[in-house]
Amino acid sequence: MKDQIKNHWNGRALGYDKNVRHVIYFRRDKTIWQRIFAEFLGKSPLKILDVGTGPGIVANLIAEMGHDVTGIDVSERMLKKAAENSATLHNTLDFVQGDAENLPFDDESFDAVVNRYVLWSLPDPKKALAEWHRVLTPGGRLVIVDGIWYIGSKDKPWTKRLWELLSMILAERRWHGYQSSDDGWRGKLWSSNVERPETDAEILRGLGFEEILVVANLNKKLRTTLDYLKYGHCGNQFLVTGVK
């Protein structure tokens, strides 16, 4: 399944980057996301790992907040985009190719671990979270941002399909089709079969994280009405955080 997932992300690198890049280039989106991360990361410079960095969107946002950031991703094509985005923004970050479930870093080597839209597509979330816990310094913070993305295409109501069609026109990029395609592995993922973010918080508790906090509806903080029409059908977003 891991190879299928890696191929999926390699194939999506170009389109994905186009669709999320506005977050690092447009002031409004940038400010909203930086505010969200600042709430949990504070203002002092930290050594931060961005897991599943993709085209480096979050990595660049937090680097510009003064943090020393390393991004890791399994997809070489995503990492190529990440390097291009950082160069354009004149940010200096480290990007490493590797697996979120087997990190190539020493124990206690980061003050914080962040990740956005990554955990849902990892085959073994407990293993991944244990790894992220391992590389955190004691007192270090984990911030997970993710969403309820997968809805089995068979069960999808016609209203949702109509919304997807509308969003294709509004978003001006024909990328949403992939959201509804079930190419085998998506339906088998843990995230398609459990309640989230409750399960995330439960795993964090099991690993010994403290001060666990769940923000169950991030969409409210993120979206204008137009954004909601464009992207709201993709699913509700949430944040889960805890301290080692």
Ligand X SMILES: C[S@@+](CC[C@H](N)C(=O)[O-])C[C@H]1O[C@@H](n2cnc3c(N)ncnc32)[C@H](O)[C@@H]1O
- Rounded Cα distance between 88 and 82, Å, is 10
Q: How far is the CB of 77 from ligand X (least distance, A)?
A: 8
Taking the CA atoms of residue 54, residue 175, residue 144 and residue 147 in that order, the dihedral angle to the nearest 10 degrees is -170
- Listing DSSP states for 213-231 in one string gives EEE--THHHH--HHHHHHH
The nearest distance, CB 91 to ligand X, in angstroms, is 15
Kindly state whether residue 48 participates in binding ligand X, applying the rule CB under 6 A: no
Binding to ligand X by residue 54, rule CB under 6 A? yes
Judged by CB, which is closer to ligand X: 5, or 171? 5
Distances in Å between the alpha carbon of 32 and those of 28, 56, 220, 222, 223?
A: 6, 17, 11, 7, 9
Number of residues in contact with ligand X under rule CB under 6 A: 21
Q: Can you name the residues that pair with 72 across neighbouring β-strands?
A: 51, 96
Contact call for residue 121 and ligand X (CB under 6 A): yes
Residue 5 in the binding site for ligand X (CB under 6 A): yes
- Rank residues 52 and 140 by Cβ distance to ligand X and give the closer one: 52
**Which two three-digit tokens encode residue 172?**
């001006």
Over the window 58 to 97, marking each residue x when it contacts ligand X by CB under 6 A and - when it does not, the resulting string is x-------------xxxx--x-------------------
Shortest distance in whole angstroms from residue 71 CB to ligand X = 8
C-alpha 102: how far from chain center:
18
- Rounded to a whole number of angstroms, the minimum distance from the CB of residue 58 to ligand X is 5
Distance, in Å, from the CA atom of 78 to the CA atom of 12, rounded to the nearest integer, reads 8
Choice from 62, 112, 118, 222 touching ligand X (CB under 6 A): 118
Instruction: With contacts defined by CB under 6 A, name the span among 32-40, 84-92, 113-121, 218-226 that binds ligand X.
Output: 113-121
What's the min distance (Å) between Cβ of 208 and ligand X? 23
CB 122 within 8 A of CB 100: yes
Count of other CB atoms within 10 angstroms of residue 98:
13
Query: Which residue, 71 or 242, has its beta carbon nearer to ligand X?
Result: 71
- Residue from 19, 53, 70, 241 touching ligand X (CB under 6 A): that is 53
For residue 111, state whether it binds ligand X (rule: CB under 6 A). no
Residues near ligand X (CB under 6 A): 5, 9, 20, 52-54, 57-58, 72-75, 78, 99-101, 116-118, 121-122
